[in-house]
Amino acid sequence: MRFTLLDRVTAIDPGKSITAIKTLTLSEEYLADHFPRFPVMPGVLMLEAMTQAAAWTIRLGEDFAHSIVVLRSAKNVKYGDFVEPGKVLTVTAEVLSQDETMTKVKATGTVSGRTSLTARLVLERYNLVDRMAHGDALDARVRSEMRKLWAVLHPASRGGGAARPVVYGAAVGGAATPVMPVGVAYRQANTVPVAGQ
């Protein structure tokens, strides 16, 4: 995952379901082209947000056993309302079934209680060591990065109760210290190579 389209995980039942949010801001670069006079979140990015949310419940359900969780297919994708700047996309994903490498998920995206997107997703899980020489080192690195990102997306998972200011998983002292936006922090810290790229 080279970028994240989720700002916060608000509820999770590992391996079963997840609820996460994405707040769309006008500063997101792709809005200049999509569309200049009517900026809205592209449908493919809405689908990616749903995929990322589903991947988190899978990762947590198996305690990060697989380093890679990718979208294999999206079926029955239906779009409803637009997601405009200033709006919050709430994504829910529920695991329907799972075998050794594939997970089937029912996912929904809503804005202000109205359905913006629904889909049935199939996600594949694997480790790089099974597909390439020296993949074990990459697997360890990916798992480490995913655990750090999880601590940003779900501060309660760090323990200690109340959320603290975080810069890519590290606590920051003092209330006046600004919190780096999740996407920026992750892009700056993420240098994990992706198979096939």
pLDDT score of 36: 85
Q: What is the DSSP string of 46-92?
A: HHHHHHHHHHHHHHHHTTT--SEEEEEEEEEEEE-S---TT-EEEEE
- Of 34, 66, 134, 154, the catalytic one is 34
* pLDDT above 70 as % of the chain: 79
State residue 3's pLDDT score.
Answer: 84
Are 148 and 167 in contact, with CB atoms under 8 Å apart?
no
* Tens-digit pLDDT profile for residues 93-129: 999 999 999 999 999 999 999 999 999 999 999 999 9
CA dist 92 and 137 (Å) reads 32
Q: Which of 7-16, 86-95, 99-108, 173-182 has the lowest mean pLDDT?
A: 173-182
Predicted model pTM: 0.79
pLDDT tens-digit map of 62-80: 999 999 999 999 999 999 9
Return d(Cα 148, Cα 151) in angstroms, integer. 5
Token reading at 79: 């779009």
Domains of the chain (ranges plus CATH)? Answer: 8-189 (3.10.129.10)
Two structure tokens written together for 29 = 């670069």
Give the per-residue pLDDT at 159.
64
Highest mean pLDDT (candidates 25-29, 115-119, 171-175, 184-188)? 115-119
Query: Is 34 one of the annotated active-site residues of the chain?
Result: yes
Mean pLDDT rounded to a whole number for the chain: 84
Question: What angle, 0 to 180 degrees and rounded to 10, lies between the N-to-C axes of helices 43-61 and 135-153?
Answer: 100
> For the chain, how far is it from start to end, CA to CA, in angstroms?
12
